[in-house]
């Protein structure tokens, strides 16, 4: 795997190869989210690292997810509000846990 990352240029904006690998990883992640056999989160992490945390599509996805969770927390139905609160707290915890790991993965890929 490390040999493959050497020829993927991590400086500058993502090229066609990095973007296509990231799209494949996103597809695997979606498949892993639907099928319980395949874990999907490693593929999502690798796609975020390939695209970069500052990529427009990654940032827009994060924004849409946050707005959807806010919408759920403000619903008049109590069970919808409860689901929104629970998922929001899990999302915040997951993001706080994964952000340093993503930064270290990006730095490791830039150095290799």
DSSP string, 57-104: HHHHHHHHHHHHHHHHHT-SSHHHHHHHHHHHHHHHHHHHHHHHHHHH
Token pair listed for 62: 């994060």
Q: In terms of Cα–Cα distance, which of 14, 67, 95 is closest to 25?
A: 14
- What is the pLDDT, as a whole number, of residue 42? 84
- Give the chain's residues under pLDDT 70: 1-14, 112
Q: How far apart are alpha carbons 27 and 43 in whole angstroms?
A: 8
Q: What is the pLDDT of residue 77?
A: 92
- DSSP character for 35? S
Q: What pLDDT does residue 72 have?
A: 92
Residue 79 has a pLDDT of 92
């Amino acid at each position: 795997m490390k040999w493959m990352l050497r020829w993927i240029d991590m400086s500058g904006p993502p090229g066609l190869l990095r973007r296509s690998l990231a799209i494949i990883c996103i597809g695997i992640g979606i498949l892993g989210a639907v099928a319980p056999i395949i874990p999907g989160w490693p593929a999502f992490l690798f796609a975020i690292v390939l695209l970069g945390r500052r990529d427009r599509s990654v940032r827009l996805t994060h924004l849409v997810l946050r707005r959807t969770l806010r919408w759920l927390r403000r619903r008049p139905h109590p069970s919808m509000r409860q689901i929104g609160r629970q998922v929001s707290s899990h999302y915040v915890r997951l993001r706080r846990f994964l952000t340093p790991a993503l930064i270290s993965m990006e730095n490791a890929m830039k150095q290799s």
